Chain A
Amino acid sequence: MKKTPESIRVPWERKRKGHYLGSDWRTQLELQVMIWPAIVLIIIFSFFPLFGLLMAFKNYNPMSGIKGIFTSEWSGFDNFTVVFHSFQFWPMLKNTIGINLFGSLVGLPVTLLFALLLNEITSSRFKSFIQTITYLPHFLSWVIYGGLFITLLDPQGGIVNALLVKLHLIDEPILFLGDPKYFWGVAIGTGLLKDLGWGAILYLAAIAGVDQSLYEAAAIDGAGRFRRMINVTIPSIKPTVMIMIIFSISGMLNNNFTQIYVFQNTLNMSASQVIDTYLYQTGLLQFQFATATAIGLLKSVLALLLLFGGNYASKKLTQSGLF
């Protein structure tokens, strides 16, 4: 091997020599020009709002504008006390956690099952066709998808009610969106249908990464297809499953605002008011800025605690976690 001449060495490796191409002012200037617009945007749109969190601990009046965030008097945890004592708070928390908890309890296993079954489809063309079809709803907005289901579940022209009546399962059409007791079911069911295909992607990628020799060894040992699925595939993709569980635990307070907002109406409000819609209502419709900020902050802090808690539990139980 010839010794690399000084002149064609990697430019930035010549740093020690005190002269490398990356250090000339023109290169640096160009790079900084590429960097700074984003830094400015981040500082304005991500960092400035952080100061607004002060409002959660202050007696803030929206009339006082931006300046009021800094000048208004401190009120300690008064805003949080107001939130806790609001008659809407506890039902709202129940809805938020209920929809997410049951959504995850149903969604996680069903999505995993779908991925496992899809993986067992032998024809690869049929498999990718199924994927194409089932990914589609993920790319449509909740406005469209929710609108579709409002039509399908309609008590008058909706096909779901018509079928149920025809099959004599019910006598009277059900007001799926007008009756609070069905709201959780509608939210969970539509959420599952919309993201079933897309949610399976990560599992499929994990399944594709499983060492094939494990399957061969299991087959030689006489394990049938079903046994191989239970004893090889599932243990191999356990880390991915755990990550999805941790994510859903940390998202326990985070509803899909768009979804809930589309399905929400005055009749089902008692079952459909969740933290995110409540935040929008108190903040932007009723202009209770301080209260809404307090709710938002409370939600973020709890979400962070849930993330760490979920990760800790996952590490304790299965030795695998996010971090």
Chain B
Amino acid sequence: MVGGKSLGERIFNKSNVVIMILLMVATIYPFWYSVIGSLNGGADLVRGPLFMWPREFTWASWEAVLADPGLLHTAWITISRTVIVTVVSILYTAMFAYAFSRPYLKGKKLYMIIGFISMYFSGGLIPSFMLINWLGLYDNYWVYIIPSLFGGFWNVIILNANYKAISDSLFESAKLDGASEFTIFFRIVLPLSKPVLAALAVFTAVGVWNDFGTTLYFTQSTDLQTLQYMILKLVQTSNASEQMKSLAANSSTAIADLLNNAQGQGLITAQTIQLAAMVLSSIPMIVLYPFAQRYFTKGVMLGSLKE
């Protein structure tokens, strides 16, 4: 399509590549900064910012986070809720969407109306809070599970669009062989919808893993903390102590050092703990990300519209 390249075009190409590289650096650098920050001595970190490498390398903050007995429990709450909600809600929503896609389903119109109302109207935070309370789900592990078991009507619409691609003759012959609707769903529909299910599963899992609203609104005991909520608390307390410290540091650096030395010979501070927890809790997402990414293109249009 493009013949000889003019000088202007070559300059454009080069600067475009440079812009993209700068953008990637700007995207990646914050992560890198938190990694090196978490691996640096805490007291040393306050003396001046790091750029590329830790100045005073130490695993102390990582060890402190991993040795925290509460962390294992918190991780367990987060992982179990993510796995249960993702698996059940994807399977069940796919099944619902299958039943909903059958032309001979009775009451389809009513279900459609119910679905659309649920998409566009919501009672908001306070009525939901009262409902959760009334149902006895407040401060209860099940608040993470039960309200999320159905993946929502939007996913049903996406799945239905995908089911249309499955040839009708498959359904017909299965029906004539006397297959039940459940058999058709599990043996035909499910295996043929793997890509879209994978995309929806990724979005669901990311959403659940990253959610801290449920914890903030509907729980109070530390037993039910999720990783995100725990990190939020760390960020807030370390933020507060940083502010206190910066006030103190303005008057004298000795006070700042004193504050730091009080916590484990200056290797660990609230800030390095926070950074270590942030890095450790993003590891699952970052490890899964390349595997999940190939499904994005499948789910792209739907996923981004949803957002």
Contact = CB atoms under 8 A, between A and B. Distances in A.
Do most interface residues of chain A lie in helix, strand or loop, or is the interface mixed? helix
A312 interface: no
B251 interface: no
A144 interface: yes
Interface stretch (A89-97, A98-106, A130-138): A130-138
Nearest to B34: A148
A149 interface: yes
Contacts of B92: 37-38
Contacts of A37: 92, 96, 149-150
Nearest to B256: A156
B252 interface: no
A212 to B, nearest CB: 8
B275 to A, nearest CB: 6
A177 B238 CA distance: 13
Given A34-B98, A199-B304, A42 B1 contact: no
B295 interface: no
A193 B27 contact: yes
Contacts of B147: 41, 45
A21 B171 CA distance: 11
Interface string A138-180: 0111111111111110111111011000000000000101100
Contacts of B9: 224-225
B124 A49 contact: yes
A257 B118 contact: no
A217 to B, nearest CB: 11
Contacts of A28: 104-106
Interface string B221-234: 00000001101101
A39 interface: yes
A26 B278 CA distance: 52
Contacts of B95: 34
- Give the residue among A12, A23, A177 with the most B Cβ atoms within 10 A: A12
Interface stretch (A80-88, A118-126, A231-239): A118-126
B124 A46 contact: no
Contact of B127 (A35, A41, A51, A143): A51
B30 interface: yes
- Give the residue among B111, B126, B213 with the most A Cβ atoms within 10 A: B126
A162 B49 contact: yes
A313 interface: no
A75 interface: no
Contacts of A149: 30
Contact of B123 (A21, A51, A265): A51
A201 interface: yes
A35 B130 contact: no
Interface string B164-181: 000010001001100011
Interface residues of B, number: 110
Contacts of B275: 147, 151
Nearest to B269: A157
A305 interface: no
B12 A156 contact: no
Interface string B209-244: 111110011000000000011011011100110110
A161 B135 CA distance: 49
Contacts of B262: none
A114 interface: yes
A168 to B, nearest CB: 16
Interface in A38-66: 38-39, 41-53, 55, 65-66
A137 B122 contact: no
B285 interface: yes
Contacts of B99: 30-32, 34-35
B125 A284 contact: yes
Contact of A159 (B24, B49, B149, B211): B49
A191 interface: no
B126 A55 contact: yes
Contact of B27 (A34, A177, A197): A197
B245 interface: yes
A205 B297 CA distance: 9
Given A11-B175, A265-B239, A284-B125, 4 more contacts: A22-B102, A147-B278, A157-B45, A300-B124
Interface of A: 7-8, 10-12, 15, 20-23, 26-28, 30-32, 34-35, 37-39, 41-53, 55, 65-66, 69, 114, 117-118, 120-122, 126, 130, 132-137, 139-152, 154-159, 161-162, 175, 177-178, 193, 196-199, 201-202, 205, 215-216, 219, 224-226, 257-258, 261-262, 265, 267, 279-280, 283-284, 289, 292-293, 296-297, 300
7 contacts: A49-B122, A52-B123, A147-B274, A155-B246, A156-B46, A159-B49, A162-B48
